[in-house]
Amino acid sequence: MWIAWPAFLMAGVLEMIVFALVDPAALHWSEQPVAVSREGVYTIAFFVFWCVIMAAGALTTLLSLSPFEMNRCPVPRGERPADCAKYR
């Protein structure tokens, strides 16, 4: 939720900014008008914005982890598999 909720809020803000400047009825794809209603364009755009912002947040969170956090074994010492023993 640390990634999804802020991404949801910012996707809403981005949606308002983009569609304040762009009319969904004026959009074209391959020189043909988009065959989706205005509400459909708003919905698709919102989910695309949300996914892109979530991916950026997830990548930021992943890159902020230290090497110790990335390499540590989450299994208790007595139950660790052989390949996890080197990270004591």
**What's the confidence (pLDDT) of residue 41?**
94
pTM, two decimal places: 0.75
| Bigger pLDDT: 83 vs 20 | 20
Q: How confident is the model at residue 13 (pLDDT cuts 50, 70, 90)?
A: very high
**pLDDT digit string (tens) for 65-77?**
888 777 777 777 7
Handedness of CA 71, 77, 81, 87 (dihedral sign): positive
Buried/exposed 23-44: b ≥16 CB within 10 Å, e otherwise? ebeeeeeeeeebeeeeeebeee
Is 5 a residue whose pLDDT tops 80?
Answer: yes
Q: How far apart are CA 73 and CA 29, in angstroms?
A: 49
Mean pLDDT over the full length of the chain: 88
Q: Where are the domains of the chain?
A: 4-84
